[in-house]
Chain A
Amino acid sequence: MSEILLEVKHVSKRYGQQVALRDVSFELASGKIIGLLGPNGSGKTTLIKIINSLLADYEGEVRVSGHKPGKESKKLVSYLPDKMALPTWLSVTEALDLYNSFFADFQLARANELLNSLKVPQGKRIGELSKGMQEKLMLTLTMARRAKLYVLDEPIAGVDPAARDLILSTILDNFTDGSSILLSTHIISDVETIFDSVVFLKEGNVDLIGEAETLRSEHGKSIDQLFREVYRC
């Protein structure tokens, strides 16, 4: 159970003069859920892009089950991007077919079940769906893979609070034994009960890192409250 699924070691990244990440390190063991927390512009998406081999030009080391981000790691990682990554003229059914042909671990029957429970209309084109529905579709496509690591970039940002519980239970219900989740968010209060541990990113630096329960008992505060203190303007 204690296999390290994701290792991030001394990772730094700059865009020109702009520092996006500075010496970021943490580990994620199998079976665990880690929260990557921080306001917009703190480096969350940059780090996630590095893990998903969308950015190659960085310092430090990243390993997914021992693999550098690339062809092998992509088979193990199911990634939910922060923006719609599919052509909007695709129908929902075509999007399912696309994932099904692309990923060997995609469970088509599971995806159909999930779309029904999330009430995503299958006949429509992606572009005809509301933003919330588009997010539910992308979450379905991501969680219907039997991956080792799920990387979810802001999965609840665009849905209303009422739908958040549904999204969270979908995530909890679909990550399988021994797999892990890295979930980035700037909205903490509705999701903090699902984290094993949290990493607070501030201006590209790790500001606070720890087990969620330990942080609660040490500080006598919720993760949400700590977040507000770390990022007080």
Chain B
Amino acid sequence: MEGGGDSLKQSFDPNLPIYTQIVDRFKQLIFSGAMSPGEKVPAVRELALELGVNPNTLQRAMSELEREGLLYTERTAGRFVTDDNALIIALREELIATVVREFLAEMKALGCSSAEAELLIKRHGGEMK
């Protein structure tokens, strides 16, 4: 999880449930490739300690990620990122589509047409490394 650790360790927004923020960060790590398919996930206690959160909260996030199929547990070996690439791609696209729709809805609320939004993305696109 080299390079991905930073994004996990950002401090949490205490106004939102902590476990959903952990779920979102794991998705970012998996979808961006910072965590690879089949990679081992650190033990719950270890990770909870590192993030300064309650182990039960972290467990809840892990269960949620398992329910969505992004992580799986092997009885003795521990917990891993799924090696089902097709699932990762499908869930990534789903999340990206949601983010884009939310963005466009916000732009619309600001009186910005799709065409204008497209232009603005191109103009500001340079800010995205």
Contact = CB atoms under 8 A, between A and B. Distances in A.
Interface of A: 31-33, 165, 168-169, 172-173, 189, 192-196, 212-213, 216-217, 220-225
Given A172-B54, A193-B51, 10 more contacts: A31-B56, A165-B52, A169-B52, A172-B55, A193-B18, A194-B52, A194-B53, A213-B57, A216-B17, A225-B14
A221 B19 CA distance: 15
B15 A221 contact: yes
Interface string B27-55: 00000000000000000010011011111
Nearest to B53: A193
Given A172-B49, A173-B49, A194 B16 contact: no
Contacts of A33: 54, 56
| Residues of B in contact with A, size category | 10 to 19
Contacts, number: 54
Interface of B: 12, 14-19, 45, 48-49, 51-57, 60
Nearest to A168: B52
A167 B82 CA distance: 35
7 contacts: A169-B49, A169-B52, A189-B14, A192-B14, A196-B57, A225-B14, A225-B15
